[in-house]
Structure 1
Amino acid sequence: MNHIATQLKNARTRQDIEVDQLAVLSGLSADTIHAIESGTIDVQVSTLRKLSEVLRCSFSVGDMSI
């Protein structure tokens, strides 16, 4: 699992939010969230921004925080 995948899953589970709930709140599909968490797709910055706003967290990508 890649670093973003781990960060997303940890943030979501810490807040006891199911994938389906996060999908509704973020406007993303549950399939997209599953794919991000499994590390099978590359994530766009705009997608990370949506997720960070919903989860009220930041994601670290190299030297950058989103």
Structure 2
Amino acid sequence: MKVTIEQDRCIGTGQCVLAASSVFDQRDEDGIVVLLDDNPPADQADGVRRAAMVCPALAIRLAE
């Protein structure tokens, strides 16, 4: 799985971090998403998919 983010779309709700904290984080100054792992291990796939689904700004893209 390849993960990409569009930081300019992110509105900082943090739902991605709640779903997959080992893959996503947020900048301290504004809450915008930070990608920690663009190729997460298979055991993180469900959380990453959930993060993409719950992102209200659709800022997370997945290629499987």
The normalised TM-score by structure 2 is: 0.43
Q: Which has the higher strand share?
A: 2
User: Greater RCO between the two (CA within 8 Å, min separation 6)?
Assistant: 2
The normalised TM-score by structure 1 is: 0.43
Q: Which has the higher helix share?
A: 1
